[in-house]
Structure 1
Amino acid sequence: MSSGVLDQILLEDLARYCPQQFLSFHQCMSKPGDCDVEQAQLVGCIKTKAPSFQKIQSFCAGKLQAYDACLRTNGMNPDRCKSDLGELRDCAFGCVKQ
């Protein structure tokens, strides 16, 4: 499964289960300003209503924590965390294929 297929599955889940929160966050991001409220609402919806995200969060918890720790350690520089991200994506692929 390619990352494009995974991204498509996740976006479909967002559109199906969290459409208003996704739209609000997207609209906020298109203009200058703080989107913390919209982001928190979207994350809350994802965690409680989007099955593919819930499955990944449960099945790949260790990989998520490792990637998050890498980002915090490296000042949110994703280039330094490519291997952790790759492992997380591999885990997510396996998870959503089931």
Structure 2
Amino acid sequence: MMSQLDQFIMEDVARYCPREFVEYHKCVSSNRDDMEKCTFRQRDLSRCIQGKVPSVKRVMEKCGSLMQNYEKCVRENMDTRTVNNCVPLLEQMRSCASEHALQGTITRPINEMVKDED
């Protein structure tokens, strides 16, 4: 099940990188048996996300060190299959991301915003 954070960031990516988002997902759908064919699309999407998506920029700015710690933990524990040791770091990173991703955004439901315009 997708969390609110995941949903928000996914919508933000689709809003700011629509072409790259669609092209990547079309490629994945067409190449399920050989994902390497989509590497260039994934790179395009990644570049767009890093450059244009405000929520991701905020998360990277505020939570980048936590993300680096988590990635380091995963790399160090991959061979011994003890990646579960990294779950607390993942939880810290997600908590930080949840705190910062929504900053500066409107968080009221759209139907409430429409009422204000009447």
Q: Is TM > 0.5 for Structure 1 vs Structure 2?
A: yes
Please report the RMSD computed on the Cα atoms of aligned residues, expressed in angstroms.
1.9
Scaled by the length of structure 2, the TM-score of the pair is 0.72
- Out of 79, 85, 93, the residue aligned to residue 90 of structure 2 is 85
Aligned residue pairs total 96
Structure 2 equivalent of residue 23 of structure 1: 22
Q: How far off is 1:96 after superposition?
A: 2.1
**Structure with larger RCO (C-alpha < 8 A, sep 6+):** 1
Structure 2 equivalent of residue 94 of structure 1: 99
Q: Which amino acid in structure 1 is aligned with residue 21 of structure 2? A: F
Moved over 4 A (4+): none
Cα distance in 2 for partners of 1:58, 1:12 equals 20
Q: Secondary structure at the match of 1:94?
A: helix
Scaled by the length of structure 1, the TM-score of the pair is 0.86
Instruction: Give deviations 1:32-84, integer Å, cap 9, x for gaps.
Output: 22121111111100000000000000010111101111121122865342111
Q: Structure 1: which 5+ residue stretches go unaligned?
A: none
- Out of 59, 63, 73, the residue aligned to residue 56 of structure 1 is 59
Q: Structure 2: which 5+ residue stretches go unaligned?
A: 104-118
